[in-house]
Structure 1
Amino acid sequence: MRFFHLLSYVFPLPRLCTALTAGGGRNLIFSLLSSVLTFHVINIRTDIEFVFFGGGFDTPCVLARSHRINFVNPKKPLYGHISSIDSTGTSMRLTWVSGDLEPQQVQYGDGNTLPSQVTTFTQDHMCSSSSPSPAKDFGWHDPGYIHSAVMTGLEPSSTFSYKYGSDSAGWSEQIQFRTPPAGGSDELRFIAYGDMGKAPRDASTEHFIPPGSLSVIDAIADEVDFNKVDSIFHIGDISYATGFYVEWDFFLQQISSVASRVSYMTAIGNHERDYEDSGSIYTFTDSGGECGIPYETYFPMPTLEKDKPWYSIEQGSVHFTVISTGHNWTQNSEQYEWMKNDMALVDRSKTPWLVFTGHRPMYSSGEGYLNVDDQFTKEVEPLLLENKVDLVLFGHVHNYERSCSVFQKECKAFPKKDESGIDVYDHSNYSAPMHAIIGMGGFSFDKFPYQVST
């Protein structure tokens, strides 16, 4: 399932480079160049060329340039990933990317065929400001067309196969996937993380390179290979494209070895949504002007409507309440009222475990407004205690941290080690939620402070 397409290019010689001197004159630099470079190339639906630069960042000049290279089939259906649409485990949404505007199909199970719904987005949908944004002004790349279809009539905790595409645009390989357990069943095996992004599989450089993302996704693929994973929850900071759209394609290709085979659920993070004058609580420019639009197009979750990216879903014995920490969460806001009602209605006899998740954390040893917003904790934390939330999962801080059972910055209970030496939180005598920061999906780890206040 893990295919890495490499392309080697021999730069011809000689090449002539013109560079400016410090005095404003021109030097002609004659360079003999003979080199073979290998690149990891994926189908981005447009012609590409390779340019070899010299002269450094101050006085860059072109040493060699390849001819334009085109993809044999820019309409090829690619990067399919599946997600749950409800808690039954009987319906799964498949989403993929193609250069083809015409509806395609998904063929699954015993001869079932469904047409795709097709959508896209344009530069006009993106955000900009007084300063140019990558998304609208200089990082644009045509995203092609995003196809989506819902496979129905499945059985939970069962294995099926599918392929997607069309006779004119081509077909994907036959892919085997497993549905998650239905809400109310006994067991769920899920993996959760935040802050993954993508890294190149060659020596190239990008504006964000989470170095661990490749090893994390490869390790998860091994777990999926041995049927040890029912679903994945990626809680914010998804691709880190931040307006450089071709990087969404690289991210989708990177996760396809797992996201095409098990339910890949997501939450929105600051690098998908936050931007000034966008309606986000935080006015940083972290999304590069994307303002949530590519994220919601590539990863349609079971939300109420567009730009309201909060939802809940049940898998096995767990009820997941998934929120957006970038949208208004203050008391009496629409999202706050939804959180309040969603958690209050959980049937704990059916799903005894209640997991609350979003991107920005309530607690972290890395102090500061960029890590923890005390107002968010003040507004939302009482809901967690009131509804006896068991586990709280956040990302945003790029490390792993686990708390005691905590409320209002006080430990109400501590875990005890079982006979295997594993910390166990006993919620039969409930005191407070346990929080875990899991923003270790790929980025270099944030450093812990030398002294942690208690």
Structure 2
Amino acid sequence: METRVAARRSLPPLVAQLPFLLLILLTVSSCAAAATSDLVIGEDYVRPPARRHRKALLSLFPWRKKKASSSSSDPQQVHISLAGEKHVRVTWITDDNSVPSVVDYGIKAGTYTSTSQGESTSYSYLLYSSGKIHHVVLGPLEDNTVYYYRCGGQGPEFQFKTPPSQFPLSLAVVGDLGQTSWTTSTLNHIKQCEHDMLLLPGDLSYADYMQHLWDSFGKLVEPLASTRPWMVTEGNHEKEHIPFFESGFQSYNARWKMPYEESGSASNLYYSFEVAGAHIIMLGSYTDYDENSDQYAWLKADLAKIDRKRTPWLIVLLHAPWYNSNWAHQGEGDSMMTAMEPLLYAAHVDMIIAGHVHAYERAERVYNGRLDPCGAVHITIGDGGNREGLARRYRNPKPAWSVFREASFGHGELKILNSTHAHWTWHRNDDEEPVRTDDVWINSLAGTGCIQDSSRELRKILMAP
């Protein structure tokens, strides 16, 4: 069912945001500085001054002129995501309400042998009205295949490649992306790496109530997000909740629809999917997660269904990190960790990847605050290029579980070579070429003594009502 979009307001987008920009400024609070003896400023690396990329910076200004060749019916902000086994969802926006939610596609450029129809939605946020947001699911599709597609029956041709059905599998990972000159560097470096999919553990656009920044973000990431699936979960900057005026996650849910229904979830804020031999779980740090919550019940059910012979790799993404030696956001993930870490430990999760802290950190396998060979490798990668800058202050001495930490922008790459071995690298984005700065081999827990010798009590956690 298509929902008609209300007429756009004539006010410039920035002016339209003024009634609640003041509200945002009044609600911003600053943390008290920790004692100097508890802090380490960076670790061996000092970041140079930021370069300026005029094109990226101009995307932040809503009053820039549109290209004369653009049409209100042309697709904007095109991105794709997985939508169940052998299916992909194409999402785009048009200013023209009459454009149908339809995608023509095929495996040969300019030749479309299949057509899929979908749905559309829109939303209003205070004085802002979105364009028509189209969601169309394509499939079934062949694995590891390039498809050419056209949105809305007209306009330019795009192309994407489906992920493989078996190893090797290459995943790009980036958090807290934003829309700065450093974002541009990070995206350019990701483009240089061969990847099958991108994972983003929250804080996408940094719109923070200013809805036109969702539009500029969609245009900024389209060159990458239209060619490979982007699988995301929400961060604190997606909440956009104004008491008595606007509910939370309205923009995020309308624009970035993930395969939550296919995974049995009741919320777009948490879900799971499988690709090649990996089961990937996207958790919601900003929706209920205690033992009485829907998310907790869903997670138990999802973990109980996993077959580690079919998907030997088990990876979890969330926004607020559980293991963090940076001064920023200390303890913010503790309550979620208390509720859910025993579940994930019982299921023998291989990796837990978080964002939120604007720096990079990799931990050894850890559980319950201590090194544990059967625990998960924890990685914080909230350093995509956000406008708030880097979190440079670390706690000292470094915890025993912390292996590598650096306050720098960059992205990660996880190359899963087979059922037992994966190669993780983190790439600092200072130079024209990404600099590989952290590098480690990770072994899957599937088939190890951790699973074979796990205690009866831990197994009961997943089976308990």
**TM-score normalised per structure 2:** 0.67
Is 1:235 paired with 2:214?
no
Q: 1:312 aligns with which of 245, 269, 272?
A: 272
Is 1:108 paired with 2:105?
yes
Question: Residues 388-427 of structure 1 correspond to what in structure 2 (within 5 A)?
Answer: 388-413=348-373
Three-state SS of the structure 1 residue aligned to 2:152 is strand
Three-state SS of the structure 2 residue aligned to 1:255 is helix
Q: Closer, same or farther in 2 for the Cα pair 1:448/1:230, shift >3 Å?
A: same
CA contact (8 A) 1:330 1:376 kept: yes
* Aligned position for 1:446: 391
Deviations 1:110-152, CA, capped at 9 Å, x for gaps: 42123342210013xxxxxxxxxxxx3xxx4332110121111
Structure with the largest fraction of helix: 2
* Aligned position for 2:146: 159
State the distance in 2 between where 1:111 and 1:348 align: 37
Q: Closer, same or farther in 2 for the Cα pair 1:112/1:232, shift >3 Å?
A: same
Q: Which amino acid aligns with 2:204?
A: I
Question: Residues 186-225 of structure 1 correspond to what in structure 2 (within 5 A)?
Answer: 186-199=167-180, 211-223=181-193
Question: Residues 367-382 of structure 1 correspond to what in structure 2 (within 5 A)?
Answer: 367=327, 372-382=332-342
State the distance in 1 between where 2:326 and 2:140 align: 47
Q: Closer, same or farther in 2 for the Cα pair 1:290/1:401, shift >3 Å?
A: farther
Deviation at 1:344, TM superposition (A): 2.2
RMSD value, Cα: 2.8
CA contact (8 A) 2:253 2:268 kept: no
Is 1:302 paired with 2:289?
no
Deviations 1:256-315, CA, capped at 9 Å, x for gaps: 11110011111011111264659xxxxxxxxx9561111111111011377442111011
* Aligned position for 2:250: 293
Deviation at 1:85, TM superposition (A): 0.6
State the distance in 2 between where 1:43 and 1:362 align: 32
Q: Closer, same or farther in 2 for the Cα pair 1:40/1:164, shift >3 Å?
A: farther
Deviation at 1:377, TM superposition (A): 1.5
* Aligned position for 2:305: 345
Question: Residues 33-44 of structure 1 correspond to what in structure 2 (within 5 A)?
Answer: none
CA contact (8 A) 1:242 1:289 kept: no
Structure 1: segments with no counterpart, 5+ residues: 1-36, 51-67, 124-135, 200-210, 279-287, 414-430
Three-state SS of the structure 2 residue aligned to 1:216 is helix
* Aligned position for 1:14: none
CA contact (8 A) 1:43 1:74 kept: no
Q: Which amino acid aligns with 2:251?
A: P
* Aligned position for 2:440: none
Moved more, 92-101 or 366-375: 366-375
Deviation at 1:212, TM superposition (A): 1.5
* Aligned position for 2:6: none
Identity of aligned residues (%): 28
Deviation at 1:186, TM superposition (A): 2.4
Q: Closer, same or farther in 2 for the Cα pair 1:192/1:289, shift >3 Å?
A: farther
Deviations 1:370-425, CA, capped at 9 Å, x for gaps: 66332222111111111100100110011110111111111124xxxxxxxxxxxx
Q: Closer, same or farther in 2 for the Cα pair 1:385/1:276, shift >3 Å?
A: farther
Three-state SS of the structure 2 residue aligned to 1:82 is strand
Q: Closer, same or farther in 2 for the Cα pair 1:105/1:69, shift >3 Å?
A: closer
State the distance in 1 between where 2:130 and 2:235 align: 20
Moved more, 437-446 or 301-310: 301-310
Q: Closer, same or farther in 2 for the Cα pair 1:38/1:253, shift >3 Å?
A: closer
* Aligned position for 2:83: 85
Three-state SS of the structure 2 residue aligned to 1:356 is strand
Is 1:118 paired with 2:105?
no
CA contact (8 A) 2:326 2:395 kept: no
State the distance in 2 between where 1:370 and 1:276 align: 25
Q: Which amino acid aligns with 1:230?
A: D
State the distance in 1 between where 2:70 and 2:159 align: 26
Q: Closer, same or farther in 2 for the Cα pair 1:104/1:354, shift >3 Å?
A: closer
* Aligned position for 1:32: none
Q: Closer, same or farther in 2 for the Cα pair 1:141/1:221, shift >3 Å?
A: farther
Deviations 1:419-442, CA, capped at 9 Å, x for gaps: xxxxxxxxxxxx211100011111
Is 1:180 paired with 2:163?
yes
Question: Which has the higher relative contact order, 1 or 2, with Cα contacts under 8 A spaced 6 or more apart?
Answer: 2
Q: Closer, same or farther in 2 for the Cα pair 1:116/1:101, shift >3 Å?
A: farther
State the distance in 1 between where 2:342 and 2:255 align: 33
**TM-score normalised per structure 1:** 0.68
Deviation at 1:366, TM superposition (A): 1.8
Max radius of gyration: which structure? 1
Three-state SS of the structure 2 residue aligned to 1:189 is strand
Deviation at 1:74, TM superposition (A): 2.8
Q: Which amino acid aligns with 1:263?
A: P
State the distance in 2 between where 1:442 and 1:262 align: 20
Moved over 6 A (4+): 37-44, 68-71
Three-state SS of the structure 2 residue aligned to 1:271 is helix
Structure 2: segments with no counterpart, 5+ residues: 1-53, 107-111, 400-465
Between Structure 1 and Structure 2, how many residues are aligned?
Answer: 335
Q: 1:267 aligns with which of 202, 225, 233?
A: 233
CA contact (8 A) 2:147 2:159 kept: yes
CA contact (8 A) 2:203 2:356 kept: yes
Q: Which amino acid aligns with 2:379?
A: A
Q: 1:99 aligns with which of 89, 95, 99?
A: 95
